Chain A
């Protein structure tokens, strides 16, 4: 009751434009809900479609894994590895680089020092290149009829998931180093004492990519190179193990 009276008293001071702004707010909020619905809709539809296909037997995950060529897995893995790494490095370099350029206009002394941030970003791409080279060493030509062995499946999957691990690690590491590098450049421009302190943060950020590299190496450590099936018997056994691979 008391609140009601208070509101009634405040009534006359509410101007027409206040009302307008209130309605404007609600409008933007409802638009926000609309947008989040539209973001969630495509993934939901895709999931439903996938479930429909699986339960009606039109799509079989196990079958898909057995049917797909191990080379496809391996080559995609290598591609993701180097591609995502370079994406991360490039992203980091433009974030850092534009800040170094801008900050360098008024304090040119920061440009040479902050090249180290660019190098940190570049290193991320080099991790990707290293792993890419190591992985592509496992690729060797095997004729189609002796390709589908357990060992080759393992190598294909290991290369794919190893490459994805390294790639995503390096992508995030590159962005991390890029953002801290940008901050380092601007902080250095404002106060030279801060450079070393923020560089420590950046160094720890750049180590994250190294973790991805190590794990990526370990993941393929037990995978042998692609090789042909040893005996024709195994070759025949293969067709029992995977009757859908041709």
Chain B
């Protein structure tokens, strides 16, 4: 039934975002890019793709960070175009996409301030999609309470921070806990918001968000081994929406080593292959190797899930999936550019192809 009324408000934008999707680099274009000898060749190759002349006005020794910034700017322009044409409830859905960037920016600024970095430099490094007016004020806060009262209470993120309000001073561990608590609240809120949009948006988004939640759960578990984070604190950081929840989350909360993580993930068929040796290059049996391999698998699965979103019409998931795929593409471009710049041709194929 969603087909009956979806196109009244969103048909045009869905067509546009599917048009953008066709511009995502394909295997042939990646093959051409990886053949490049210099970054100038790289730029020439890119100008033949959907990116066009986005690097045309850059002075000649192009740095990889410039490429990344400019590519991000292209994505941001596209997003803003869609956002300014959107009406409810799509506009709210798009706002939800920006919240994750806002969380990252807030954490970046707090961490930077803690380590006494230059404010302007920090503000420049913030993701343009996650900017908000009172952002520079973040740099003066010293504890969470103050942070909340002065800045965050005015942003849409305020409800997410309510769970982690304490008078505790900001230190590295606390910031990490705040980041994960806030992200957990954000994911759960987004999950319930997409439920309110009804099928098929909810079906599609639940799958992606559940994966995102599980990925965070597993990462938190692995990263908290041998740290001062207690198991109870750890359990409190796990999002409650993933496919591992509740049994898998409980098992992960009690895990002490990577083998127990593997056992917890056995419960979900899709996650079984993450730990298996099949396919991927064996990077050594130690925990670090497994974690690195896991990260790659996560990215691959994310790309796979986001690609599948496009198979279903008349739903909002395509907007989210497009942003995620494009982000992966920017990471790929940066990786290839970095490999060219550092002349590390043997690892240039390690990016994650999309289409």
A and B interact physically: yes
Q: Which A positions have Cβ atoms within 8 angstroms of B?
A: 10, 12-15, 17-18, 21, 24, 28, 91, 94-95, 97-107, 175, 179, 182-183, 185-186, 189-190
**Chain A minimum-CB-distance residue to B253:** A13
Are A102 and B11 in contact, with the CB atoms below 8 A? yes
Shortest distance between the CB of B321 and any CB in chain A (Å): 14
**With A10-B250, A24-B192, A94-B8 known to touch, is A105 a contact of B19 (CB < 8 Å)?**
yes
How many chain B residues touch A (CB < 8 A): the figure is 31
> Whole-angstrom distance between the alpha carbons of A182 and B18 in the complex?
12
Contacts of B19 in A (CB 8 A): 102-103, 105-107, 189
Are B22 and A102 in contact, with the CB atoms below 8 A? no
**Chain B minimum-CB-distance residue to A186:** B18
Contacts of A190 in B (CB 8 A): 18, 21-22
**Chain B minimum-CB-distance residue to A12:** B232
Shortest distance between the CB of A161 and any CB in chain B (Å): 26
B236 contacts partner chain A, Cβ-Cβ < 8 Å = yes
Are B16 and A10 in contact, with the CB atoms below 8 A? no
Are B16 and A106 in contact, with the CB atoms below 8 A? yes
**Chain A minimum-CB-distance residue to B234:** A13
Are A95 and B22 in contact, with the CB atoms below 8 A? no
Contacts of B214 in A (CB 8 A): none
Contacts of A105 in B (CB 8 A): 15-16, 19
**6 closest Cβ contacts across the A-B interface?**
A102-B15, A106-B19, A98-B11, A103-B15, A102-B12, A13-B235
Q: Encode contact with A along B222-234: 1 for CB under 8 Å, 0 otherwise.
A: 0000000000100
Are A182 and B11 in contact, with the CB atoms below 8 A? yes
Are B18 and A189 in contact, with the CB atoms below 8 A? yes
Contact of A99 among B11, B20, B21, B22 (CB under 8 A): B11
B13 contacts partner chain A, Cβ-Cβ < 8 Å = yes
Are A101 and B22 in contact, with the CB atoms below 8 A? no
A-B contact pairs, 8 of them (CB 8 A): A21-B240, A95-B3, A100-B15, A102-B14, A107-B22, A175-B3, A189-B15, A190-B22
> Whole-angstrom distance between the alpha carbons of A101 and B163 in the complex?
45
Q: Which of B20-78 contact A (CB under 8 A)?
A: 20-23
Contacts of B13 in A (CB 8 A): 102
Contacts of A106 in B (CB 8 A): 16, 19-20, 22-23
